[in-house]
Amino acid sequence: MSNLTIEKLNVWFGAGANRVDAVIDASLYVESGQSFGLVGESGSGKSTILRAITGLVPDWSGTIEIAGKALDKQRSTDFYRTVQMVFQDPYASLHPRHTIDQVLSETLYLHGMKDIDNKIIKLLDDVGLGGAFRFRYPHQLSGGQRQRVAIARALCAEPKILLLDEPTSALDVSVQAEILNLFDDLRREYKLTYVMVSHDLAVVSHMCSQIAVMQNGKIVEIMSVEDMRNMQPKADYTKHLLKSSMGYVRSSTA
């Protein structure tokens, strides 16, 4: 089990007059086994935090620790055995000319796993696909099935932390619920820690116990999901976000 600590994280793109500060002085702590949500409007810096953790952004400062060990600018092989990411678009995240068997077997091999054949069968079973999908190509799968393959690929390394970047936003509503329930089941079975980015507060409410609300690159509030459900935020922006998530309310005046 691994926890995640981020202290005074800054992420920027460009330099000088062209510099854009995407994340500003962000700090958060995620306990082992917890599911932690990052919410906010598009461009608020949510996904950039995940990319900073995985080393996908070059310019950042501050401290990122996994199980008390600070990360440097380069991510090690051990890091990717501990932390994996599931991306938003299942259509773009799989090689179109590789079968599911190739996708999983190559990933398992790169992580030094043994008994690859049996591991593929178990992974497909664990994500609700089964062996019948093993030799299919991505174009033969639905969006939800592709995302299940992407989840199985992330599990190949036997990670402790999964970073989930809008993992259901590209899927139909009915399929979203299935994938969210799958994440719940996998967290218990694999004893995983989640950090989930979403603009959908209903998704975060279902998945997470604690959330950080972001605006313009800053974390404006960290609150429990119970406080969110009870509409008890402290920050004005969070109040606005929660009110907006309730949708259109008809005025009582003519």
pLDDT reading at 114 higher than 80: yes
For residue 173, the model assigns a pLDDT of: 87
CA gap 25, 157 in Å, rounded? 31
pTM above 0.75, yes or no: yes
Amino acid symbol at 50: L
Domain boundaries, the chain: 4-245
What is the per-residue pLDDT for 247? 57
pLDDT band at 245 (very low <50, low <70, confident <90, very high): confident
Task: Provide Rg for the chain, Cα atoms.
Answer: 19
pLDDT for residue 120 is more than 70: yes
**Average pLDDT score over residue span 176-200:** 94
Least confident of 77-86, 89-98, 153-162, 208-217: 89-98
pLDDT level of residue 189 (50, 70, 90 thresholds): very high
Q: For residues 2 and 192, give the distance between their C-alpha atoms in angstroms, rounded to a whole number.
A: 9
pLDDT at position 254:
42
Q: What is the pLDDT of residue 1?
A: 53
Can you give the three-state secondary structure of the chain, one letter per residue? Answer: CCCEEEEEEEEEECCHHHCEEEEEEEEEEECCCCEEEEEECCCCCHHHHHHHHHCCCCCEEEEEEECCEECCCCCCHHHHHHEEEECCCCCCCCCCCCCHHHHHHHHHHHCCCCCHHHHHHHHHHHCCCCHHHCCCCHHHCCHHHHHHHHHHHHHCCCCCEEEEECCCCCCCHHHHHHHHHHHHHHHHHHCCEEEEECCCHHHHHHHCCEEEEEECCEEEEEEEHHHHHCCCCCCHHHHHHHHHHCCCCCCCCC
Fold of the domain spanning 4-245: Rossmann fold (3.40.50)
* Percent of all residues in the chain with a pLDDT value above 70, rounded to a whole number: 96
% of the chain residues with pLDDT over 90: 80
Residue 137 structure tokens: 């190509």
The rounded distance, in Å, linking the Cα atoms of 101 and 88 is 22
Rounded distance between C-alpha atoms, residue 190 and residue 247, angstroms: 36
Q: Residue 164: beta bridge partners?
A: 86, 196
Locate 59 and state its tokens: 């310019």
Question: How high is the pLDDT of residue 249?
Answer: 43
**Tens-digit pLDDT profile for residues 55-97:** 999 999 999 999 999 999 889 889 999 999 999 887 788 899 9
Query: How much is the pLDDT for 90?
Result: 77
Taking all residues of the chain, what is their mean pLDDT, rounded to a whole number? 92
Note the pLDDT of residue 132: 93
